[in-house]
Amino acid sequence: MFQRTSTGRGQFIDVSMLDVALTLLTSHATDFLWSHKHPTAKGNKFSFATLGMYHTSDTEIMIAASNLTQQRRLWIALGREDLVKKNNIERLEDFEREYDALSTIIKSMPAAYWETFLNERRIPAARIRRMEEALCDPQVAARGQFQRLADPQGPVDGLRVTTSAFRMSDSPSGVTQPPQPVGAQTTAILRELGLKEAEIEALCAAGIASQAAVAERHMKEHEQ
């Protein structure tokens, strides 16, 4: 529709499930095309030792010193300048030594300590939080990530759900109405397109817009 607004002509959108699957595998595919090493299941481990989950003295923490600058900051902050690498190939080849060293160091203190220590030194890290703690995080409240549904006559009235994961400066984003049955807006859309009631009934009778009829009945029953 944007293309039509800009040029007066629309365009087809071609979506392949294989393309989507490969896009989700971007990091693994890129790694293979670079190193020619077949990926294997690593659990909470990644290709670089400075990126992944580690056990502290009380719980787990995620460390994300993924690039060369961050890994340099990490090893210097921990007093292990000898493990600083100049390129990513060196990091891959020295994974086991780095992993063993980092595991021993991180296990010596609680997760809260490491989270503060690392973040103060501009090294991305966050302790693993339980669901209730994550949902009560001040940033979640400040961002307005959850919204309460208003559906007085429906079964989900008052239910809190996540809103969209993005914000736009001039267009509000979020949930505008509770979940709708399949085809709930079909009749309204057909009317907006200029179809008369008789035409819509004919489409329903032919089974082309059968969902609209079901939705229409549902909406009338709901109003009653």
pLDDT of residue 61: 97
- Per the domain annotation, does 68 fall within a domain? yes
- Residue (of 13, 39, 15, 14) closest to 26 by Cα position: 39
The first and second tokens of residue 140, run together, are: 């979640």
pLDDT of residue 209: 65
- Per the domain annotation, does 5 fall within a domain? no
Query: What pTM, to 2 d.p., does this model score?
Result: 0.59
DSSP H helices in 13-137 = 17-24, 26-35, 68-77, 88-93, 95-106, 111-120, 131-135
- Per the domain annotation, does 11 fall within a domain? no
Residue 92 sits in the same domain as residue 107: yes
Residue 101 sits in the same domain as residue 158: no
Residue 141 sits in the same domain as residue 77: no
- Per the domain annotation, does 152 fall within a domain? yes
Using 50 as the pLDDT threshold, list the residues of the chain that sit under it: 212, 214, 217-218
- Per the domain annotation, does 25 fall within a domain? no
Number of domains in the chain: 3
Residue 146 sits in the same domain as residue 212: no
| CATH code at position 61 | 3.30.1540.10
pLDDT of residue 88: 94
Its domain, for residue 218, covers 186-223
Which phi and psi angles does 141 have, rounded to 5°? -65, -45
pLDDT of residue 212: 47
- How does DSSP assign 193-213, residue by residue? TT--HHHHHHHHHTTTTHHHH
